[in-house]
Amino acid sequence: MFRFLIAAAAIALSTAPALANGHGGGDAPPPPKPATSPAKVILTKQGPTLVDLNGMTLYYYERDTTGKTSNCNGKCVESWVPLPATADAKAVGDFTVINRNDGSKMWAYRYRPLYTSPADKAPGEANGNATTLQWRVARPEN
């Protein structure tokens, strides 16, 4: 008789969620995805460097000083490709979203718009560093 009571209790406990019309018995909905960073830091011979999610070196333009716009427009984007952000992108940590003149959005790090260089053909290359043109490799301490 005791075994019967234990078996009946186990069955009752296991079917309670089903009898609750789906309330309290199912899996909870997954939590919202945390926003992911558009870039990461890698360690190079020159020190920590910001790279995009494909490992391509990121740069900033010294003339981008307002934190609200990019000064690289028109022909400039042929040499310096803005790090694109989706239309619904939201700021994450030190990364912010900037509206471009053409209506698109791009990522910025500590309010400096970020770009990649077509001169870099493989992850980790930094061929776009042009000190005379005021372009710099983006670093986490910048």
The tokens 């930094």 sit on which residue? 126
Q: Phi and psi of 19, rounded to 5°? A: -75, -15
* Res 67: pLDDT: 84
CA distances from 138 to 19, 49, 109, 115 (A): 58, 6, 8, 9
Residues of the chain with pLDDT under 50: 1-20, 22
Residue 3 lies in a domain: no
* Res 12: pLDDT: 46
* Res 107: pLDDT: 96
Residue 58 lies in a domain: yes
Residue 63 lies in a domain: yes
* Res 133: pLDDT: 75
* pLDDT tens for each residue of 74-91: 999 988 999 999 999 999
Residue 10 lies in a domain: no
* Res 97: pLDDT: 95
The domain tally of the chain equals 1
Residue 27 lies in a domain: no
Residue 20 lies in a domain: no
Q: Phi and psi of 40, rounded to 5°? A: -140, 170
In this prediction the pTM is 0.72
* Res 68: pLDDT: 87
Range of the structural domain that residue 104 is part of: 40-137
